[in-house]
Amino acid sequence: TEHDFNLEKQTLVHEAKLNIQDEFTKKEKDREVQQRIARSAEIGECRVKKMKIRDDLLQKLVADAGAKCAVVARGQNYPQLLQKLIVQGLIKIEEMEVTVFCRNEDISTIEKILDVAVQEYVEIMKRESGVTLEPKVVMNENRNRDLTTNSYGGIVLTALNGKIVCDNTMASRLNLVYEELLPSIRAILFPDA
């Protein structure tokens, strides 16, 4: 009986040891999993921070470029630029009745160059298609709909009561260039990424 008792005791002790080892192994695996999860979350958080910092830098770059566009809008060649933007917009919009929107400070400049721009458009269309057009291009009369200063200058042309819009502002052109060159900009600014 004592032998049976010792055998039973050893069996119970052995089973208890196995249970403790299993429990320990399970807890160790759980701890490793939790560590991996925490490490992965930390890496993800670092990536998000890195992306946020990069995005902030890119937005600052765009803002700086916008400030340079605002300088262009105060330059002596700005009337010629506006004229070219109007001609380009008219070619793109291809309508006979067009309204020109601009910033309040550009109204007098646009009024001076509008007829010349329309004439240049007519000449280009006649040369390219052989058709003489007579578009009616007018300035926006509603001062509440003037472009804001954060457009950095330029013009917006509309036709068919605003159903067709050609945004030729400096801000829209800057955004187009930014979107188009974004991969190159990233490669220059962040070569290791």
Q: What gap in Å lies between CA 139 and CA 145, rounded to an integer?
A: 11
Quote the tokens at residue 188: 């220059």
Q: What gap in Å lies between CA 72 and CA 141, rounded to an integer?
A: 25
Q: What gap in Å lies between CA 134 and CA 165, rounded to an integer?
A: 20
- Has residue 184 got a pLDDT over 70? yes
The rounded percent of the chain whose pLDDT value lies above 70 is 99
Sign of the C-alpha dihedral computed for residues 74, 80, 86 and 92 taken in this order: negative
Which residues are CB-neighbours of 88 under 8 A, at least 6 positions away?
168
* Mean pLDDT for the stretch of residues 127-146: 89
- Has residue 193 got a pLDDT over 80? no
Query: Counting beta carbons within 10 angstroms of the beta carbon of residue 89, is it exposed (0 to 12), middle (13 to 18) or buried (19 or more)?
Result: buried
- pLDDT tens-digit readout, 51-68: 999 999 999 999 999 888
**Residue 191 pLDDT:** 86
Quote the tokens at residue 59: 């937005």
Length of the chain: 193
The rounded percent of the chain whose pLDDT value lies above 90 is 74
Quote the tokens at residue 34: 């939790």
Q: Average pLDDT over the chain, rounded to whole?
A: 92
Strand (E) or helix (H) holding 54:
helix 2-72
Nearest alpha carbon to residue 96 among 135, 123, 130, 126: 135
